[in-house]
Amino acid sequence: MADDLKRKWWEYHKENPQVWELFEYYTLQVINKGYKNYGAKGVMERIRWHTEIETTGDRFKISNNHTAYYARFFHYKYPQYDGFFRTKNI
């Protein structure tokens, strides 16, 4: 099951690079404010607000299943912040 979720996330990620850009941007904002930990779900909700309320154009959905993979991807891209998001073993 985890492999299927990861595959679906990766396909979504490739088709919607703007989600990663926003996830990265908002997470770095939180870090720059001095937070040592934060919830990936909070970042994802900020992205939803931004894409649904603050922007115009085509709407797109973000599955809750993708949030953990964005958190892990952030840890991968920014190893100095490994553990910023608390993640479960899958």
pLDDT tens readout for residues 11-34:
999 988 999 999 999 999 999 999
CA distance readout (Å), 75 to 61, 78, 79, 82: 23, 5, 5, 5
- Domain segments of the chain: what residues? 2-81
**Cα gap 37→9, rounded to integer Å:** 23
**The model's pTM:** 0.88
Give the per-residue pLDDT at 11. Answer: 92
Residue pair 5/65 in contact by the 8 Å Cβ criterion: yes
Return the half-sphere exposure (C-beta side, CA atoms, 13 A cut-off) of residue 25: 9
Judge whether residue 60 has pLDDT over 90: no
**Cα gap 3→76, rounded to integer Å:** 18
Judge whether residue 55 has pLDDT over 80: no
